[in-house]
């Protein structure tokens, strides 16, 4: 059974507190809850909804040890809310010199599988809950020794982690790099996919972007439904960031997602 929900954002907090229809799952951004007094807020949310925690600053793809402070903070947060799982990008967002603050792609090869799997196991051990590894949108492709689906299958198998498939990132990548996202999806071993991210894409000239700033388009719904039919997805999250639609529109999109889940079941 797939739970459906939204990514927690401060802008939506009052609506979420009102326990709106069709919302039965929340994903909270770890970086927004590092302050101790906000962890009380998180505990209150955890008492109301099943929660997943999304982390985006561990930089699993950076060679060398993980940042101990960041990992400790995430582990402390996980201890407060006991989430279903935590998730982190399959990417690097930092080097020893510069903090990029967003996801940069990694090279799909054996050494990267080993690096991220080792980091992922450390995160899961420290947090005491499963870790899901999240796919990212990227304009840059780094040539490696494996195709991306093979890399992801190997990574999940080696690390023991599930996959958080960002449906919109997959669609955007398919447009920017010219491949069929449905074929790509079928190459992923179904048991790996545990969670989906779904949002609207945008376009800037000939670039396709995963910006969470538009209503969810039909192409995305179709791909999401294909993912729900392909894999035993446990949770699906709608993401809104750049522009927040009226809450009624969010409720409609949650209802559409539930219907898609029903058809895929």
Partner 1 sequence: MKGTGATTLRAAGDTAFFALDDQGILFCEARQELHLLDAAASYVWCSVEDGVPAAQIVSGYAEACGLSFAEAERLVGGLLQRWCGLGYIEGDGPPPETIDLTTALGRLLVNPGLRRSFAAAPDETARRLGLRGTDRKAFLALDPAQLDVQALSMAEQRRRLRQTKLLFDHGATRSLGPRVLSGKSFTPAVERCWRLCDTTIRLRCDTAAQDELVRLSLLHLEAGSDAEADLTLDVVEGRRGHAVLRDGALVGYCDRLDQLARVIIVLIRDLVLDRTDYFFMLHAAVLSNGAACAVLPAAPGSGKSTLAAALARSGFQFFTDEIAILERDRLRARPFPLPTVVKEGAVGVLRPYYPALPGMPVSRRDNDQPVRYLPPPPDAMPADAEPGRPVRWIVFPQYEATAETRLRPLPAGAALSRLMAECKVVTADLDRANVAALVDWLRQVDCYELTVSSLPDAVALMRALCLPVRRRSSRRRTATGSP
Stretch that binds partner 1, among 125-133, 181-189, 214-222, 247-255 (CB under 8 A): 247-255
Stretch that binds partner 1, among 9-17, 124-132, 161-169, 188-196 (CB under 8 A): 9-17
How far is it, in rounded angstroms, from Cα 89 to Cα 164? 9
# of chain residues touching partner 1 (CB under 8 A): 50
Residues 53, 94, 168, 120, Cα dihedral to 10°: -50
Q: What is the H or E stretch that residue 165 is in?
A: strand 162-166
Rounded (10°) angle between helices 218-230 and 167-177? 120
Chain centroid, CA 72 distance in Å: 21
249 binds partner 1 (CB under 8 A): yes
How far is it, in rounded angstroms, from Cα 249 to Cα 127? 35
216 binds partner 1 (CB under 8 A): no
44 binds partner 1 (CB under 8 A): yes
Token pair of 149 as six digits: 């689906």
Question: Judged by CB under 8 A, which of 1, 68, 69, 97 binds partner 1?
Answer: 97
17 binds partner 1 (CB under 8 A): yes
Integer CA distances (angstroms), 247 to 21, 134, 197, in order: 11, 27, 19
Token pair of 205 as six digits: 């000239």
State the nearest-atom distance from the C-beta of 144 to partner 1, in Å: 7
How far is it, in rounded angstroms, from Cα 186 to Cα 86? 25
62 binds partner 1 (CB under 8 A): yes
**Residue number, 218 or 248, with CB nearest to partner 1:** 248
How far is it, in rounded angstroms, from Cα 171 to Cα 179? 9
179 binds partner 1 (CB under 8 A): no
State the nearest-atom distance from the C-beta of 55 to partner 1, in Å: 14
State the nearest-atom distance from the C-beta of 89 to partner 1, in Å: 12
143 binds partner 1 (CB under 8 A): yes
Chain centroid, CA 122 distance in Å: 19
How far is it, in rounded angstroms, from Cα 127 to Cα 125? 6
State the nearest-atom distance from the C-beta of 138 to partner 1, in Å: 7
State the nearest-atom distance from the C-beta of 177 to partner 1, in Å: 9
Binding site for partner 1 (CB under 8 A): 10-15, 17-18, 31-32, 35-37, 40-41, 43-44, 61-63, 92, 94-98, 100-102, 104, 107, 138-144, 207, 209, 211, 241-249
């Amino acid at each position: 059974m797939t739970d459906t929900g939204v990514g927690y954002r401060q802008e939506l907090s009052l609506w979420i507190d009102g326990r709106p229809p069709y919302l039965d799952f929340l994903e909270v951004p770890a970086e927004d809850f590092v302050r101790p007094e906000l962890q009380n807020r998180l505990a209150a949310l955890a008492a109301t909804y099943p929660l997943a925690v999304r982390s985006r600053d561990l930089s699993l793809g950076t060679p060398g040890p993980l940042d101990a402070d960041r990992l400790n903070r995430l582990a402390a947060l996980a201890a407060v809310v006991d989430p279903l799982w935590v998730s982190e990008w399959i990417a690097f967002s930092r080097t020893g010199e510069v903090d990029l603050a967003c996801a940069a792609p990694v090279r799909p090869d054996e050494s990267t599988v080993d690096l991220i799997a080792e980091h992922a196991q450390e995160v899961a051990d420290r947090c005491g809950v499963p870790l899901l590894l999240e796919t990212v949108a990227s304009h840059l492709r780094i040539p490696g020794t494996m195709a991306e689906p093979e890399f992801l299958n190997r990574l999940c198998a080696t690390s023991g982690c599930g996959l958080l498939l960002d449906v919109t990132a997959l669609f955007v990548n398919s447009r920017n790099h010219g491949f069929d996202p449905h074929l790509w999806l079928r190459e992923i071993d179904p048991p790996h996919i545990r969670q989906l991210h779904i949002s609207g894409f945008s376009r800037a000239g000939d670039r396709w972007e995963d910006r969470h700033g538009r209503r969810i388009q039909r192409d995305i719904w179709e791909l999401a439904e294909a993912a729900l039919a392909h894999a035993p997805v446990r949770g699906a999250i709608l993401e809104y960031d750049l522009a927040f639609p009226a809450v009624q529109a969010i409720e409609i999109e949650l209802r559409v997602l539930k219907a898609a889940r029903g058809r895929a079941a």
